[in-house]
Chains A and B, each alone.
Chain A
Amino acid sequence: MIKTTLHNLLNHPQYNSLKFRLIISALLMTFIILPIIGLTLSKAFEQQIVTSVKKELTAYSYSILALAEVEDGKISMPEQLLENQFNVIQSGLYAIISELNIQSNGEYRQLWQSNSLLSMSSPTISISPEVGNHSFSSLTIDDKQHFIFSFSVSFNSNENNVPLTVHIIKNYNDFNGLVNNFEQQLWTWLLILMVLLFLVQGSWLVWTLKPLRVLKSEMMQIEQGKLTELQQKYPLELAQVTQQFNLLLRTERQQRKRYRNALSDLAHSLKTPLAVIQSQQELTRGSNEQLQLINNIINHQLKRAQSAGESAWHTGINVKVVVDKLITTMAKIYFDKGIKFHCTIDSQANFKGDKTDLLEMLGNIIDNACKACNQHIVISVNQLAEKLTISVADDGVGINTDLQINILNRGTRSDTYQEGHGIGLAIVRDLIESYQGQLIIGNSSTLAGAEFTLIFNSK
């Protein structure tokens, strides 16, 4: 069941992390394994003490037996015993000699007791091992726990066998003292160890997970376009993965570049002959139109082929950099118009995709605005949570509803669009679609002209 619970827990996205696993094992080590070690040690120590108490009481029983003399079935003991604790009242160490055979009241008749038992209530002893055997257990006298060691022997007196049992009773004081002292020491040190271990494991956790944290931050930077590949040195276990990842990024980049170059060369070799034909002055209007059509188809298909929209991995592109570049370019191209650009651009705004595609989309949109505007263009770029919104508005005459519908109509073959707003926007529409983005065409609320809004998911 624990296994299933753990399995379920680890499958939960929030807990399915290396950090969580390491924390769990560190906690297990500190708060479960260490206390178990403590308990085991404490138990073993107690056992040890009990064994030594038993040995001590055994020795006392022998010394008592050595002093006992039996005459005519009666036992005689010296007034004072060698071990002084037997002579001092309530010393905690007591000796009793009783008959082996049980009386009719269910008790053993007591034959002798040590002076230390004076003024104490006589213990009721119900233990009596066979002759030659001993027993070791505990006993309550005056509500206090005592060890009791009983040893049965048989004395020979006048041809009679006198069987009797020697009981050595010792209170728990010494034992408790030792055990408590040991436990106090043990748990204090274990607690210190726990704190130390916890600290060591904490720093070990931070240290071990550092490369992963660095990796995560570098990946983020790659996604935001701040880095082109992983740059840090990673530990052996990660190095292979990061090297392969860099290789993959590089290969992908080179492949895309090669592909683009090949397509560019194709465009070049197709279009130069077209330019030659078109530069001949005796062309009819019909031929010119056909040339234009061929050109549009080449443009459209090549651009579609170049788009990286469907690519699985996208590094981030800073939108501001791209917009700034385009504005510089447009200012050159439309120098005579003296266009004024008004930009509010979130400098952190990030497009998850290909730079060429972003340039193409924004290039066409801003170029259209430059063509359509009188003098003012407003560009705003916002990144809110998971949405990147780019809008371009101009102060031209606006865009009519028919054309709006026509551009957004998915069924229309975009390479059949006419010049102007059409052909550029067709490729923009296709590119936006390939990024699962959204194109909204409307009229600007602040300026009189058209407003094109591009919305992308930035996740």
Chain B
Amino acid sequence: MRLLLVEDDLALQNNLKESLIKSNYSVDVANNGQDGLYQGEEYCYDAAIIDVGLPIIDGISLIKSLRAKNIDYPILILTARDSWQDKVAGLDAGADDYLTKPFQNEELLARLNALIRRSAGQTKPILTNGVLSINSKSFEVTVVDKVISLSSSEYKVLAYLMLHKGDVISKSVLTEHIYDQDFDLDSNVIEVFIRRLRKKLDPDNKFGFIETHRGLGYQLKIVSKND
């Protein structure tokens, strides 16, 4: 999952980025509203975290501008102003949830997780597809109740496919949602991750979780528990 974090306080920005990366997110940062707007429009994110008090363009205006451009990924606002007036104004502008400063990192991660799942139409923290299930809170992946250990990149690919199960996802989309802008990777790396995922999740090729559509991308087949 790739996130945009717009926060002008560099100390807070660093701490948040660190903690988000630990939770398997790819994070792009912006220090002010103007950069935030540029990046928010330019790249495909799965969610954005925006501070309300930003230099150049304030958070509320930034959210309004993004929403006016039909950018619809979920937005979580961070605000020091915790009056309901400000909360209502933020959510009215187009944000999906708010968090008042100071907050616990766990709270931020939980809210973010819920927002991303909600935008993909999932309400429970454990995503399942037949015998395959991943816990988006603990990052635990199981196949037929057996825990599978994945690298961070492998988890990101699988989590994205799980959130968009049934959809054909191109390699470039996967790359965009898995790496932040500082990485300049050949999309062929995705093929490597897919191969490794298939090997780890389904060594006997019994379930065939991930299908390749030549020239189009990859698809996580929807299966019910009984299959």
Contacts and interface: CB of A to CB of B under 8 A. Distances in A.
A274 interface: yes
B83 A271 contact: no
A276 B118 contact: no
Interface string A321-335: 000011011001101
Nearest to B105: A279
Contacts, number: 93
Query: Which of the listed residues B11, B81, B85, B91 has the most CB atoms from chain A within 10 Å of its own CB?
Result: B85
B84 interface: yes
A276 B11 contact: yes
A367 B91 CA distance: 14
Given A271-B101, A275-B12, A364 B84 contact: yes
Interface residues of A, number: 38
Contacts of B19: 279, 281
A247 interface: no
A275 B105 CA distance: 9
Nearest to B124: A336
Interface string B118-152: 10000100000000000000000000000000000
Interface string B1-30: 000000001011001100100000000000
Interface string A346-389: 00000000011001101110010000000000000000000000
Interface stretch (A74-82, A151-159, A178-186, A262-270): A262-270
Interface string A247-290: 00000000000000000110111111011111111000000100
Interface residues of B, number: 31
B104 interface: yes
Instruction: Choose among B15, B83, B105, B114 the residue with the greatest number of A CB atoms under 10 Å from its CB.
Output: B83
Nearest to A331: B91
Interface in A281-312: 281, 288, 291, 295, 299, 303, 306
Contact of B88 (A268, A272, A277, A363): A363
A335 B118 contact: yes
Interface in B79-105: 80-88, 91-92, 96-98, 100-105
Contacts of A362: 84
B83 A270 contact: no
B92 A329 contact: yes
Contact of A278 (B84, B102, B114): B102
Nearest to B84: A363
Contact of B102 (A269, A275, A364): A275
Interface of B: 9, 11-12, 15-16, 19, 53, 78, 80-88, 91-92, 96-98, 100-105, 114, 118, 123
25 contacts: A264-B80, A264-B81, A264-B86, A267-B80, A267-B81, A267-B82, A268-B80, A271-B100, A271-B101, A272-B53, A272-B80, A272-B101, A275-B78, A275-B102, A278-B103, A279-B102, A280-B15, A325-B92, A328-B91, A329-B91, A329-B92, A335-B96, A336-B118, A355-B85, A360-B83
CB-CB nearest 6 A-B residue pairs: A363-B84, A279-B15, A271-B80, A274-B102, A268-B80, A275-B102
Interface of A: 264-265, 267-272, 274-281, 288, 291, 295, 299, 303, 306, 325-326, 328-329, 332-333, 335-336, 355-356, 359-360, 362-364, 367
